[in-house]
């Protein structure tokens, strides 16, 4: 039977649905580095259940039989260490699982800003009756920076809410079914000034490190809000705080950060124009079942010699074309 090492899980009870593989695979659970080293001995498949890849780096010398890694997260930047990238081991992720939840999260943040929910909740906590005018989101323009499957689902939902959308990807193209227009990443600074909401959903690569800094925030209009659900290091947080303090932008909704958990001393915690959440935008009741089901389907494809779903281009650091 094919040996599967399951990183980050202590037993079958941690991962729903694995009973479907009974009799078809030998499952070895590895909650820590030492058990992972033993589990990888002779294992062809690694199912990365925990998002932290440090123990895989530490156990890499035990991966001689490994042929395929399936990662439970949408982002795979934690796995992009040189030895894995240079290997012939195939890598897949959970592309598509978190798309709708994250799109709804973006819409929720936009409505929260437009309808001034944080201010109303503060006033409620203080038992203070404070009437306010709010904004409509119908007709507002969203620039979605990142044209992958999550960005596309965000575009579809925001368009359904009456907003106009445009996307930013690696290259420009017209007539896109979801975005209408996708602009080249090199043109980002020229596009920011037209957006009411700038939504970053970028993978973390060398090209996207600090993609949003002082120049980008200065290019946005003072009434615009910035939302980041991609990766924290794609944003220069010091520049973001400075832009908020200077009134260069009106607010920020942040689910990811340069350092996680967000340090208690970060000024982002206490700003009334910032909504902070702890890297949870894609997590919903039942998501673990969907993640496990995708792995099981891919495992059956692997055994049958069929193409794997959600294949990653390791040189690029994100989903392969097609």
Q: Which residue of the set 28, 70, 231, 237 is catalytic?
A: 231
Mark whether 260 is an active-site residue: yes
| DSSP, res 92 | E
Give the SS3 label for residue 289.
helix
CA torsion sign for 250, 255, 257, 263 is positive
Q: Which residue of the set 90, 100, 279, 301 is catalytic?
A: 279
- Measure the CA–CA gap between 185 and 175, rounded to whole angstroms: 17
CA torsion sign for 257, 261, 264, 265 is negative
- Measure the CA–CA gap between 98 and 79, rounded to whole angstroms: 19
Mark whether 231 is an active-site residue: yes
Q: CB burial class (10 A; 0-12, 13-18, 19+) of residue 127?
A: exposed
- Measure the CA–CA gap between 288 and 294, rounded to whole angstroms: 10
Mark whether 279 is an active-site residue: yes
Q: Which residue of the set 19, 26, 34, 260 is catalytic?
A: 260
- Burial pattern 260-271, b for ≥16 Cβ within 10 A else e, equals eebeeebebeee
User: Roughly how many angstroms between the first and final C-alpha of the chain, as a whole number?
Assistant: 30
CA-based nearest residue to 118, from 286, 256, 270: 270
Cα 129 to Cα 54, 111, 119, 272: the distances in Å are 50, 21, 11, 18
Number of H-type helices and E-type strands within the chain: 10, 15
Give me the active site residues, please. 231, 260, 279
């Amino acid at each position: 039977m094919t040996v599967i090492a399951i990183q980050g899980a202590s037993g079958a009870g941690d991962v729903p649905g694995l009973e479907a593989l009974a009799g078809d695979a030998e499952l070895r659970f590895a909650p820590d580095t030492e058990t992972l080293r033993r589990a990888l001995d002779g294992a062809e498949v690694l199912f990365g259940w925990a998002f932290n890849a440090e123990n895989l780096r530490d156990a890499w010398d035990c991966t001689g039989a490994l042929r395929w890694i399936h990662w439970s997260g949408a982002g795979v930047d934690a796995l992009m260490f040189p030895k894995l990238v240079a290997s012939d081991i195939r890598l897949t992720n959970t592309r598509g699982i978190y798309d709708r939840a994250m799109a709804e999260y973006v819409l929720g943040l936009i409505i929260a800003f437009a309808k001034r929910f944080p201010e109303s909740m503060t006033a409620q906590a203080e038992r203070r009756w404070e009437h306010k005018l709010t904004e409509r989101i119908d007709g507002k323009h969203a620039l979605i920076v990142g044209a992958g499957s999550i960005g596309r689902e965000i575009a579809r939902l925001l368009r359904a809410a009456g907003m106009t959308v445009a996307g930013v990807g690696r290259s420009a193209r017209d007539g896109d079914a979801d975005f209408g227009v996708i602009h080249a990443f090199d043109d980002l600074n020229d596009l920011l000034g037209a957006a009411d909401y700038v939504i970053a959903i970028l993978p973390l690569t060398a090209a996207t490190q600090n993609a949003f800094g002082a120049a980008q925030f200065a290019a946005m209009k003072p009434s615009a809000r910035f939302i980041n659900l991609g990766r924290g290091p794609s944003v220069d947080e010091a520049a973001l705080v400075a832009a908020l303090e200077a009134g260069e932008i009106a607010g920020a909704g942040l689910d990811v950060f340069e350092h996680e958990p967000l340090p208690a001393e970060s000024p982002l915690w206490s700003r009334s124009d910032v909504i902070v959440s702890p890297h949870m935008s894609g997590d919903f009741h039942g998501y673990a079942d969907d993640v496990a089901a995708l792995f099981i389907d891919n495992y059956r494809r692997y055994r049958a010699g069929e193409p794997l779903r959600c294949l990653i281009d390791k040189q690029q650091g994100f989903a392969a074309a097609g």
